[in-house]
Amino acid sequence: DAGITQSPRHKVTETGTPVTLRCHQTENHRYMYWYRQDPGHGLRLIHYSYGVKDTDKGEVSDGYSVSRSKTEDFLLTLESATSSQTSVYFCAISDQHDTSTDTQYFGPGTRLTVL
Amino acid sequence: RKEVEQDPGPFNVPEGATVAFNCTYSNSASQSFFWYRQDCRKEPKLLMSVYSSGNEDGRFTAQLNRASQYISLLIRDSKLSDSATYLCVVNIYNQGGKLIFGQGTELSVKP
C-alpha cells in the first residue's frame, strides 16, 4: 500500500468553525489531490497540487482552501464549515499527472460531520 | 447530465455467478478509462485499466466501446470477497490528468 495517511480520521465540528485536514505521504510523489465523496455522487475533486506551493482548483472548490509547504504534506482548510461540507474526504497522490500512465493512490479518508 | 453514469445497483448475486457492470461517459474527449474498487468505508483502489482492445485480469474482463462511449466490467465466478462498490473512472484529455468518477455500482455476493 502507498504510504498515505490522513488526519484526523473522524471529526465532528460546528457550523462556522474553521477545520483543517491533513494529508501526509511518504512516497515523494509530486501530485496530491483532495476529493470529497457523497451519496449519489462520485468522488469530486476539490483542489490539487502539482508541487510545493503550486495548487489549482477542482470541480467543487468553493469554501475550501489548500496549502502545500512541503512535498509530503497537503492541507485542506474549510474556512467556515457548513453542514453541506459534511462528507468523507479522500486525499490521493500520483507520480504523474497523466493518469493514462500512472495511478492515483488514495488515503484512508476523513469523515467530517458539521453540525 | 453526469459525465460518467453507472447503475448504482445493488446487484445481489450468488457465489459463482457471472455479473456485468456498465458505464457510459458523455465527453468524447475522454482518453483513459479505469475501474476502481471501493470496500465499505474504505478508500478506492485501482482494479484495472481499460484498453481499447479489451483486457482481462483473472476473473475480471474490461471492455471499451469508444463509438458508443461505453465501458463494461465482467466478473466471472463471483466470490464473496468481490462484494464491494465498483467505480467507473475516466480521464478527460482536455481536463489534464484529472479523473472523473462515476457514483459506483454496488455488488453483493451471497453464499
Model confidence at B92, pLDDT cuts 50, 70, 90, reads confident
Contact A90 B44 (CB under 8 A): yes
Residue A8 pLDDT > 80, yes or no? yes
B18-77, pLDDT tens digit by residue? 999 999 999 877 778 999 999 998 999 999 989 888 899 999 999 999 999 999 999 999
Between B2, B43, B98, which is nearest A109 by CB? Answer: B43
Between B2, B34, B44, which is nearest A106 by CB? Answer: B44
Secondary structure, 3-state, A64-98: EEEEEEECCEEEEEECCCCHHHCEEEEEEEECCCC
Contact A100 B91 (CB under 8 A): yes
Which three three-digit cell numbers place residue A69?
509547504
Instruction: Measure the CA–CA gap between B30 and A80, rounded to whole angstroms.
Output: 35
Residue A9 pLDDT > 60, yes or no? yes
Contact A97 B97 (CB under 8 A): yes
Could you tell me how many residues make up chain A?
Answer: 115
Residue A41 pLDDT > 90, yes or no? no
In a mutational test of the A interface, the residue from B43, B88, B93 whose CB has the highest number of chain A CBs within 10 Å is: B43
Model confidence at A98, pLDDT cuts 50, 70, 90, reads low
* A chain contacts of residue B41, beta-carbon cutoff 8 Å: 109
Q: Are B6 and B104 in contact (CB under 8 A)?
A: yes
Which three three-digit cell numbers place residue A91?
486525499
pLDDT at B97: 64
Q: Are B20 and B28 in contact (CB under 8 A)?
A: no
Q: Closest approach of chain A CAs to the CA of B102, in angstroms?
A: 5
Between A42, A99, A109, which is nearest B91 by CB? Answer: A99
Contacts for B4 with CB less than 8 Å, ≥ 6 apart: A42, B23, B24, B25, B26, B88, B89, B90, B100, B101, B102
Instruction: Measure the CA–CA gap between B59 and A51, rounded to whole angstroms.
Output: 38
Q: Closest approach of chain A CAs to the CA of B79, in angstroms?
A: 23
Q: Is the dihedral of CA B73, A90, A47, A3 positive or negative?
A: negative
Contact B96 A97 (CB under 8 A): yes
